[in-house]
Structure 1
Amino acid sequence: MARLLGVEIPNEKKIEYSLPYIYGIGLPLSRKVLAATNIDPNIRAGELTDEQIAAITQAIQGMKIPIEGDLRRELQMHMKRILGINCYRAHRHRRGLPVRGQRTHTNARTRKGPRKTVGAQKSK
């Protein structure tokens, strides 16, 4: 596996689809990086030369895009700030409910988890 910015990317995939394995880089950004470095997006990640890998790394760092640890740390700091000021969003996060105004009467199963059946129990 090729190693790029401390992340193992799969050799058998096209480089265009291998770059999004790096946290913080999606498909559109991957295409921008490859266009900036003049690398064919259809080339396999395992076929890249050392110069091409260096060019991709330099292009990503030149764009000043937060990736991997920096991005995770930044998102964690945002969450800490929200939880610290005790806003409405913080309460929703703490309770594990949808944060952005979605309905919860039905749906919201991803956020709420599996259904918990509430019903009458037989008494002895």
Structure 2
Amino acid sequence: MPRILGVDIPANKKLEYSLRYIYGIGPTRAKTIVEASGFDPDRRAGELSEEEVNQLASIVADKQYIVEGDLRRERVANLKRLSAIRSNRGIRHQRGLPVRGQRTKTNARTRKGAVKPVRK
């Protein structure tokens, strides 16, 4: 199993799909990275040599993509900032309610959790 940026990517999948296992790299970025590397798109990730794996990691670094731990920290910092300035979005994140204007009278069960019965 090749290891790129501290993440084990599946060896039996094509390179473009294996790169998606890295947090912060989706379909478009994976395709761009494979094209920039010049590798055959049909190649499997397990067929890569150590130098080729390092080349992929350097391409991600050169393009200055924010991935893995840095991206996770940035997202948490953004949510903390919204909460600290007491914005509507930050408050709704804290309360576990939908953040982007969805209705809550009905639906919103994914965000609110299971129905809590009212006792009399």
CA displacement 1:50-101 (0-9 Å, x = unmatched):
2221211111000001111111111111111101001111211111000010
- Is 1:5 the counterpart of 2:5? The answer is yes
Instruction: Specify the alignment match of 1:25 in structure 2.
Output: 25
Equivalent residues in 2 for 1:1-124, closer than 5 Å? 1-118=1-118
- Partner amino acid for 1:5? L
**SS at structure 1 position matched to 2:43:** coil
Task: Give unpaired runs (5+ residues) of structure 1.
Answer: none
**1:108 shift after superposition:** 1.1
- Partner amino acid for 2:27? L
For the Cα contact (< 8 Å) 2:80–2:90, is it kept in 1?
no
- Partner amino acid for 1:91? I
* CA RMSD after TM alignment: 1.2
CA distance, structure 1, for counterparts of residue 18 and residue 83 of structure 2? 35
**CA radius of gyration, larger in:** 1
TM-score normalised over the length of structure 2: 0.93
CA distance, structure 1, for counterparts of residue 109 and residue 39 of structure 2? 42
TM-score normalised over the length of structure 1: 0.91
**1:15 shift after superposition:** 1.1
- Partner amino acid for 1:85? I
CA distance, structure 1, for counterparts of residue 37 and residue 15 of structure 2? 12
**SS at structure 1 position matched to 2:3:** strand
CA distance, structure 2, for counterparts of residue 119 and residue 40 of structure 1? 63
CA distance, structure 2, for counterparts of residue 113 and residue 35 of structure 1? 43
